[in-house]
Amino acid sequence: MTTVLISNDDGIFALGIRTLANTLAQKGYDVTVVCPDRERSATGHGLTLHQPIRANIVDQLFDSVVTAWSCSGTPSDCVKFALSAVLDSPPDMVLSGINHGSNLGTDILYSGTVSAAMEGTIDGLPSLAISLASYTATDFTTAAEVTTQLLEKLPPIPKGTLLNVNIPAVSHQEIAGTRLTRQGLRRYIEQFEKRFDPRGKSYYWLAGEVIEEIPQPQAKDAAANIPTDIEAIRENYVTVTPLEFDLTHANSILSLQNQGVNSLLP
């Protein structure tokens, strides 16, 4: 039986994680859920270091065969806690999601969903971050079915690699297929809206809207003919983007070395 650890950043009550966990359990997977006890979106890869982490077993929210825990920490905390304190042995796979909303382009830098899956990758486990590319859709059934199909057919994931999966919010019949993609560029028009609390003290609320109609980044090496995740999701493809936690820009090492960076100081 395949063992799966599932986490998220939308919290224990999110419909996406419940749908995914129950669907996999019904298909015979051994499922353990450990996720935040509340919404922890856009927390990136943050960890809780200066206060205790509290965790509790959760009953009734999930299928009876699913073992579920809620945790007061971040998504990355949840995966660390699960691997170190909940599971007796490493799972076969770590899944994060199904996130309510896409994680495309530079969104991944802030995404708690991606970071939870990346924690599994850092620990040497095959890991996927899974997102439904809509903030308004409320049916995760198709996304869960697509995820199970991917798990059944995926080739081995290279070590040190996370697969970031975005699923279009359309019916199964409308999905155009899967596309191996590269990370696109997604930016926002951001503004801090000034507001006042009932006592007249000011506070600020981060707001803004996404910009997608911008030039896509130049592809790296072998990815020259690969579409971006942003381009492919527009055409109703399930996007599969390989990511790695090694942020070293290899080409720049040679360039800066040739420009004498190693000898800047005596």
Element housing 205 (H / E): strand 202-211
Instruction: Indicate the pTM of the whole model.
Output: 0.91
Q: Give, in order, the Cα–Cα distances in Å from 2 to each of 16, 90, 127.
A: 21, 11, 14
User: Does 250 or 115 have the greater pLDDT score?
Assistant: 115
Q: Is the pLDDT of residue 255 over 60?
A: yes
Whether residue 252 is predicted with pLDDT greater than 80 in this model: the reply is: yes
C-alpha dist (Å) from residue 19 to 35, 127, 144, 225: 14, 18, 7, 35
| 214 has a pLDDT exceeding 60 | no
pLDDT in tens, 44-101: 999 999 999 999 999 999 999 999 999 999 999 999 999 999 999 999 999 999 999 9
45 CB contacts (<8 Å, ≥6 apart)?
76, 115, 118, 119
> Helices 141-153 and 15-26 meet at what angle, rounded to 10?
50
Which structural domains are found in the chain, ordered by start? Answer: 3-184+222-255 (3.40.1210.10)
- % of the chain beyond a pLDDT of 90: 76
